[in-house]
Amino acid sequence: MRDRTEALMANERIRIVPSVLPADFARLGEDVQALEKAGVDRIQWDVMDGQYVPNITMGPNVIAACRPLVGLGFEAHLMVKNPDPMIGRWVEAGCELVIVHAETCLHLHRTLGSIRELGARTGVALNPATPLSAVENVLDLLDLLLVMTVNPGFGGQSYIATMEPKIAAARAMLDEKAPDVELEVDGGISIATIGAAAAAGARTFCVGSALFADRDNLGDAVQRLRAGATEGLTTA
Ligand code: DX5
């Protein structure tokens, strides 16, 4: 474990993590390569099973097909009713980070331990109504905390600004008890909202529709988002 100061400094870094939900699924490989070229930090795969959320997206085979095309890290955001039976499949497909929803895990401590045993990093996502207390007893098994700023299931939704106190409380909890843990927000993040989310304490930003809205200028869009987050930090 890094020393506290080193961990806190490392987590000050701004990370832009595109969701491929709004990508062109007819040319997904080209889109992930364009994202790498645009200078993003990781790629998030929004996995949906039509049970936990009223939408279905992709399985491990799609992720595995894209894995050799880029050097970027992949994170699987599992919006599925029961993640345990397939945990290993996402790691085998090439995801270095597996994010489960606390709301879907009967035994969250055990699930996170199984992800670590597979050699992957762990993430827990909390829906807007789910309190931070859901993770306070598993911080030792956590590598990333994902605070949802929309209700899961679809891209293009509006940012829920009332999550900002929760983001700030998460920042305070992690700074005090788990400075190595990355704090990510997901949902409705755009140039209009990233500053407020950064000021509240987020450092990793999952962005879907706002990034792909400027599909032909992804690099500029990534730079604008980074600048917006940094500006939010300076005004915090
Ligand atoms: C919701 C998804 C979205 C996606 C980002 O289930 O998790 O939040 O990643 O989509 P945008 O950026 O369009 O809100």
Window from 7-21, 50-64, 158-172 with minimum mean pLDDT = 7-21
Q: Do residues 34 and 69 touch, judged by C-beta distance below 8 A?
A: no
pLDDT of residue 2: 57
Give the model confidence (pLDDT) of 99-122 as tens digits.
Answer: 999 999 999 999 999 999 999 999
Q: What is the DSSP letter of 19?
A: B
Average model confidence (pLDDT) across the chain: 95
Residues in the chain: 236
Measured in Å, residue 106 CA sits from the centre of ligand 1 at: 24
Query: Ligand 1: which of 40, 46, 127 to mutate, most ligand atoms within 8 Å of CB?
Result: 46
Nearest to 35 by CA among 81, 6, 70, 63: 70
Task: Answer whether residue 201 shows pLDDT above 80.
Answer: yes
Give the model confidence (pLDDT) of 127-173 as tens digits.
Answer: 999 999 999 999 999 999 999 999 999 999 999 999 999 999 999 99
Helix (H) or strand (E) holding 197: helix 194-200
For the chain, percent of residues with pLDDT exceeding 90: 92
> How many Cβ atoms sit within 10 Å of the Cβ of residue 155?
19
User: Residue 4, class by beta-carbon neighbours within 10 Å (0-12 exposed, 13-18 middle, 19+ buried)?
Assistant: exposed
The structural domains of the chain, ordered by start, are 4-21+23-127+141-235 (3.20.20.70)
